[in-house]
A and B are shown apart, each in its own frame.
Chain A
């Protein structure tokens, strides 16, 4: 029983990381249909922001707290810049954005290598987040709990923004029907840019969280990006609840399979499960009902 609980917690914490990364993607992929491969590099930007802050502020706790909003702004600004420079010119060719942003991601990785050096760097975690909590035979690592809390907080924040603010209403309108939103007087281009800002900013927050569980390196983003895209695909485009359920489900599935087999077999197993799932629901868990044929 404790094994099951421990594995479930591991799965949930894998899911929390996936969720943090996939939240931003759900927004940008959902609203604009563009596949942003540079999303992984925004994660990296968030992680390096934490690193730089910790170099200048020696306190680990304070730097982490400052890093969260700062990484959001840094990554968000990068995302908005990318949207303005390239992506808005490619809305009619969503698949090509994948290759274009891949090129951007190559350049950003090299930039990180030139600025911070090729080897991975580490940040120190605040004391509060290094220990464990044991309850009922299950060990909860504090840093994992923090990431879980952060992920849920981000989901809550995003839900509130989308549901109750004028900006959220505009974003939802553009997701549901871009043409109608535009003739209703919504500046869709501007909404796109803000969505991209928020989505990329969330990647930055994910980057801060990842500094707690692993090293910071130029290629750290690529390790997560494919899994995060799978979450979006399975969850359904532009649906927060789909992403939340899928992220945790994939995390638990991954950790259970890892426990019973090996890491590599688990990866293959998850992929097979996803293909099987898409047989059942080709558009993902939750979909917007539209009358379009595509």
Chain B
């Protein structure tokens, strides 16, 4: 049973697809959707005529408001319960096509009975008639078999060998005929609202400014709305939750290592997954808003020329833009691209967009070495990422993604007001998907990292832990880039989890003696903590609302400086030179998408394959670029 959802405002083209479905011979129930909009345009339908012509039930629906759903389900149940076989093919494509199709059916039944068992016979015959490449390859039928040549020769000569056009014409003829019979439209089609909006939104003068304004607004809203909630989750997980666990387990007499595993590994891991929820929810909400309103297709229309030159699609712009905030929702945002090639290529280039988690690293190093020219250096880093994306796009387009370019042909739907229901469903689905699919991967990995940091048993310093040893191991590899210390190596390794961890690890390593995990002496103040959680959530919600209305709500660079960074600066100055710091920043920009991005790749593309490709090319590229920066700089006399 197929439920065929048909756009009532664009019946002719939609019925074309319905006729293709009917060729399969499966029972079909048609949901005549957007019925309200069609009626508002002055359309009147004679449903009985449509039902008779299609031999299928037709139910008007308005899916955004849930109207007609009960009637639709009822029709489906009735159809499913009907014992007698329906009329085999209600569509009649004309005597010539039908007789040729019958002869092809005969040929298949005799010569290839196994195909007749596997596929609907009429459908197969029609596909062979129109020379469908996929079907021909799959069935290994060439069309040159003598009985087939005989069956088709008459049609072939009458239509100059173009039977695909013939079939398309035949289907559209049926569909157009049915529309004429069953649909009454007002004679005068006035200048519609969509046209009027497009005259502004797609105009030569305003098209691009409006596009950038829309993108700027979406970016700001996504990250401004989510930021306070991210902080809130972070605080709750690191504060009360950790305290309670430590106290509870301590009281139960659990050994120190187990307390640490629970508090740092498990709770830390859960908190780590949850901090991404607000930003993914916000991103999905605004993407759905763009899609649902009809602007997404326009955005692609405006930007396609520029993106196409990089081998991408007009819609690729949006995931890449979101990438500047966070690569994780950006990978999810590639969903808006319909073609797999476009999606994968966009996802591969997105990690070169410098996400906000990399900013603390730049801020720290720029603060130490490039105080006077901070803005210039920061711009250089971001620009480097964009430039590399352009180069890699051109490179990948001509290597891994050579071959036929995906098509751009798409419908520009009328502008519509998206419904809250639609927005919440999509947002909720995406968040659930992230927590379940990506969350498990991230959670497992953060436990593994805990072990790396704390094994072998009783390890006293980071240097002797497995992490420190790994850092020592990779140090020679990064030595030609100007930062061959185990400290830098270890920080880069933890940076794979999330880029912002790099600064934290450097702090932990360089200033290890400073902090000792002070255990709370008495039982925590549960009531106080819970109250505090509620209060801070309310504050977060207020901040989010404030951010929406404030024009420049994004944290300024100075606010990105984390606590304890001041103490780190002299140590960084001792461990790096300005040149090696620059190489290190370039390396951090490029070297690898973080673990959460890997999980997003896995859940969006089904395997780690494309992540492996991204990681592979990025590691290589990062090494080469950092090498060029450091060695080139040294040659030019900037070393030392």
Mutual binders A and B: no
